[in-house]
């Protein structure tokens, strides 16, 4: 198992260059993988859960807010997730909750390939958001959206990133390099 803030599992079914060029990569990049997404009731976690389900993963969604995580589960089902998504209501502030979540995921599908941690207490202001607040903006011309995080997570969890490990991937619209 690997984790994300992001990671990936192993598979021989890597996307070919033609798949990448034809744009079919995202639609099957996570087939056969089981991925936990925390904070899936809102924001980035919700966007990651949707993108992963669209890419063929079995998604185990976790959030402390039952109504929110169940709503994400309904959305994934309505959008035609290949595999039944699992919505788990759990407080991940403690070790016990985290262990119980992993047990649920493995019990449900017999494997766990990646964990994307988006649960957290809001309030952090990223570099791009700070630049906007200060009257500037990131070079790319907009602030980041939850789906931008989903795209980064999809890449890191997929086999396309099989030789990537131990890195920090900056998702800031170019803000850091323009300072």
Ligand X SMILES: NC(=O)c1ccc[n+]([C@@H]2O[C@H](COP(=O)([O-])OP(=O)(O)OC[C@H]3O[C@@H](n4cnc5c(N)ncnc54)[C@H](O)[C@@H]3O)[C@@H](O)[C@H]2O)c1
- Catalog residues that contact ligand X under the rule CB under 6 A: 39, 41-45, 63-65, 68, 91-93, 118-124, 126
- Of 30 and 119, the one with the shorter C-beta distance to ligand X is 119
What is the closest distance, in whole angstroms, from the C-beta atom of residue 87 to ligand X in the complex? 12
- Of 44 and 81, the one with the shorter C-beta distance to ligand X is 44
Q: Which residues are paired to 2 by β-bridges? A: 114
What is the closest distance, in whole angstroms, from the C-beta atom of residue 67 to ligand X in the complex? 10
H helix or E strand, kind and range, residue 130: helix 127-133
Q: What are the counts of helices (DSSP H) followed by strands (DSSP E) for the chain?
A: 7, 5
- Asked if residues 139 and 175 have their Cβ atoms less than 8 Å apart, the reply is yes
- Of 126 and 174, the one with the shorter C-beta distance to ligand X is 126
Residue whose structure tokens are 């011309």: 141
Residue whose structure tokens are 């803030």: 5
What is the closest distance, in whole angstroms, from the C-beta atom of residue 155 to ligand X in the complex? 18
């Amino acid at each position: 198992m690997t984790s994300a803030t992001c990671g990936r599992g192993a598979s021989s079914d890597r996307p070919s260059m033609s798949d990448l060029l034809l744009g079919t990569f995202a639609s099957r990049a996570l087939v056969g993988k089981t991925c936990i997404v925390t904070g899936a009731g809102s924001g980035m976690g919700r966007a990651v859960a949707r993108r992963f389900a669209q890419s063929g993963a079995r998604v185990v969604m976790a959030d402390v807010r039952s109504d929110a995580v169940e709503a994400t589960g309904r959305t994934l089902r309505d959008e035609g997730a290949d595999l039944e998504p699992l919505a788990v209501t759990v407080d991940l502030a403690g070790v016990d909750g985290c262990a119980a979540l992993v047990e649920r995921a493995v019990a449900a599908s017999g494997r766990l390939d990646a964990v994307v941690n988006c649960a957290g207490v809001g309030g952090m202001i990223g570099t791009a958001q700070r630049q906007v607040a200060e009257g500037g903006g990131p070079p790319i011309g907009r602030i980041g959206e939850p789906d931008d995080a989903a795209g980064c997570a999809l890449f890191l969890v997929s086999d396309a990133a099989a030789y990537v490990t131990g890195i920090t991937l900056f998702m800031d619209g170019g803000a850091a390099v323009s300072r």
